Amino acid sequence: MAEFPVDQVRRMFPALNRTESSVFFDNAAGAQIPQRVFDAINDHLLCRNVQRGGRYRESKEVDAEIARAREAVATFLNAAEPDEIAFGMNATSFIRLVSLALSQTFKDRREIIVSELDHEANIATWLALEQVGAVIRWWKVREDGNLHLADLEPLLSSKTRLVACTVTSNALGTIIDVAGMARRAHAAGAEVFLDCVHYAPHGLIDVQGWECDYLVCSGYKIFAPHMGFLWGRRAALDALPTFREDFIPNVPPLKIEVGTFVYENVAGMRAAVEYLAEFGGPSNGNEVSSSLRKRLSNAMEAIREYETTLSAALLQGLRSIKGAAVYGIQDPQAAHLRVPTVCFNLKNIAPDELTTRLANKGIAVRDGHMYSPRLMKRLRLSPDSGAVRVSLVHYNTQEEIRLFLKELQEIAGN
């Protein structure tokens, strides 16, 4: 493996090059953006801040930008066609949209399987359907902080409508075997809904290879602005009953994109996909989806390999900290089974106190339940105080990890 060009990467991110910049280990709450993403947003606002669908030049340029972004995101996900991509506010709003739509299609299949590992957005939205007759089944987390397919199988039946699951835990960093899960769900006649928000910056997404039916992401974790997108199999989207104004065609993505979304942020998302593709080799100048997909595949493989070294170093270092309790996968040799997102606590130091002391040293981490209060309870932690989360991406460095561990050792009294 060639050495990952992390110094070159960091130069692309203005936030990482400010004189007073901190060690930013809070990427799970939102990553920084490279200059090219800001430039795309800025260019759109300055030059074509108009509504799409007009006959004049600027409006046609907006139409073209949205089409380019849809193609880029479709390639990023390995979607069968661009019209399987819908843009909107965020992942949570899309989960709610799909949940409300599916509630109208229950018939004899009223059971929905949700997991204890998930972000609350992919739990509460489905629990709300109990009011209209849904029956919730829980896929429970084992002591190792993982979801096991053997525990899913007894939950599946002819009554299962949907399995809703994360691809990667935003708290523990655990990567789920979603392809294996989808095969079992489909064998039972159920559909699969994936929350891919936390996995997206860390590895290659393949909706066709995973054989899922719906998938949501939010741009703010993928080096883009605050926006969201939904992917669905074309047949599933065609069948989805959605709210729309009478003049809107009953076809995706128009039937799903309720109202006007933030066009400049969609332009930024397209630029973020192009940024990621840079790690996979140079563009041929006339990018087609197949070559862009190849570059993205190479890029995300390089990012995964580099981030695995970060995960291993972080886990190894935390082992040496007196009183540190790591939740989920702890073995540095198993770093390939997770992303570099780690939740831990220090004995006798409250999470909020620890994050405050680290912040005073210029290290940005987060404390709390990480929008996963049910998981915190499963880990026998108080949802009020939760844990400390350290979350890295590919622009973070081994040196930053050493600085973090040094400060942590001093706080722990090692």
Radius of gyration of the chain (CA): 21
Q: Which two tokens stand for residue 327?
A: 């939740």
The pTM of this model reads 0.96
Helix axes 351-360, 398-412, angle to 10 degrees: 120
Q: Is 299 left (phi over 0), alpha (psi -120 to 50) or beta?
A: alpha
Instruction: List the one residue out of 257, 150, 166, 256 whose CA is nearest residue 212.
Output: 166
As a residue count, the chain comes to 414
The CATH number given to 40-279 is 3.40.640.10
**Residues of each domain in the chain carrying CATH 3.90.1150.10:** 8-32+300-412
CA distance 291 to 240: 32
165-184 pLDDT, tens digit per residue, is: 999 999 999 999 999 999 99
Statement: residue 288 has pLDDT above 70: no
Q: Which element (helix H / strand E) includes 62?
A: helix 57-77
Longest dimension (CA), the chain: 68
Statement: residue 1 has pLDDT above 60: no
Statement: residue 185 has pLDDT above 90: yes
Torsion angles phi and psi, residue 222, rounded to 5? -110, 35
pLDDT of residue 217: 98
- What percent of the chain is predicted at pLDDT more than 90? 91
233-287 pLDDT, tens digit per residue, is: 999 999 999 888 888 999 999 999 988 999 999 999 999 999 999 987 666 655 5
CB-count exposure of residue 91 (10 Å: 0-12, 13-18, 19+): buried
Top-level class of domain 8-32+300-412 = alpha beta
357-377 pLDDT, tens digit per residue, is: 999 999 999 999 999 999 999
**Residues of each domain in the chain carrying CATH 3.40.640.10:** 40-279
CA dihedral of 235, 236, 242, 248, whole degrees rounded to 10:
-30
Average pLDDT over residues 55-83: 97
pLDDT of residue 246: 87
Instruction: List the one residue out of 222, 226, 231, 233 whose CA is nearest residue 97.
Output: 231
